[in-house]
Amino acid sequence: MLVVVVAIFATLWLPYRTLLVYNSLLAMFGQQPFKDLWYLLFAKTCIFINSAINPILYNALSVKFRRSFKKMLSCGSSRAGNQWHLTLLNSEGVRRLGRSPSSGPAHRAVAHSSTRPLYPPTGTQVLDTALSAHASPLTPGN
**Residue 115 domain-assigned (yes or no):** yes
**DSSP structure string for the chain:** -HHHHHHHHHHHHHHHHHHHHHHHHHHHTTPPPP--HHHHHHHHHHHHHHHHHHHHHHHHH-HHHHHHHHHHHTTTTT-TT-----EEE-TT-EEEE---GGG-S----EEE--SS--SS--TTHHHHHHHHHHHSPP-TT-
69 and 17, same structural domain? yes
Which residue segment(s) compose the domain that 63 sits in? 2-73
47 and 9, same structural domain? yes
Predicted TM-score (pTM) of the model is: 0.49
Tens of pLDDT, residue by residue, the chain (142 residues): 899 999 999 999 999 999 999 999 999 999 999 989 999 999 999 999 999 999 899 999 989 988 888 888 887 665 544 555 555 555 555 555 555 455 444 444 444 445 555 555 555 554 455 455 555 455 555 4
61 and 7, same structural domain? yes
96 and 33, same structural domain? no
**Residue 128 domain-assigned (yes or no):** yes
103 and 52, same structural domain? no
**Residue 80 domain-assigned (yes or no):** no
95 and 126, same structural domain? yes
**Residue 33 domain-assigned (yes or no):** yes
